[in-house]
Amino acid sequence: MQRFNLRNLFPKKSGIRERRSKPRGNHPDNATILVADDSRTILFTLKKLLEQDGYSILVARDGMEAIKIAKSHSPNLILMDVIMPRINGFRATKMLRNDALTTDIPIIMMSADEQAMQEYWINRVGARDFLNKPFKRADVFTKIEKFLRVQQVA
């Protein structure tokens, strides 16, 4: 009797089919994204997802750290959580908008709370868009590419 082998259940295919509808790497060369979130899970997930697509990733665990990193590294885009320790995402975004070094960096706010009031405040403090948690891979890249494409054209 032949020994059981899991590989025998799945036939080998000659070519590997890409499951994405768009090719990876549809962004400016050396694009850097700052991800600011106090959740280690969200940081790990976004870092892994974005690095696989060729982005350089910077990580901040609170609003103060996000401000310092944004000023020193000038990322192309910031993904900012709303609720974080020390300084929340609203206040950090407002501070980044009021600083000449960081005023033009697009900021996408992230939150699990989908209330309309939250989106109102996001627009009021200067964020460019909103990403609901939990997020889908396609949603993340659609929002990111929208702003990075504008920078590439400019």
Q: Is residue 13 situated within a structural domain?
A: no
Is this structure's pTM higher than 0.85?
A: no
Total domains present in the chain: 1
Q: Is residue 137 situated within a structural domain?
A: yes
Q: Is residue 28 situated within a structural domain?
A: no
Q: Are 127 and 108 in contact (CB under 8 A)?
A: yes
Q: Is residue 73 situated within a structural domain?
A: yes
Cis amide prior to 23 (ω within 30 degrees): no
Q: Is residue 21 situated within a structural domain?
A: no
Q: Is residue 14 situated within a structural domain?
A: no
Q: Collect the ranges in the chain with pLDDT lower than 70.
A: 1-29, 114-117, 150-154
* Residue 105: CATH number of its domain: 3.40.50.2300
- Residue span of the structural domain in which 100 resides: 34-143
pLDDT for the residue numbered 111: 87
Q: Are 55 and 78 in contact (CB under 8 A)?
A: no
pLDDT for the residue numbered 125: 85
Would the CA dihedral through 65, 68, 71, 72 be positive or negative?
negative
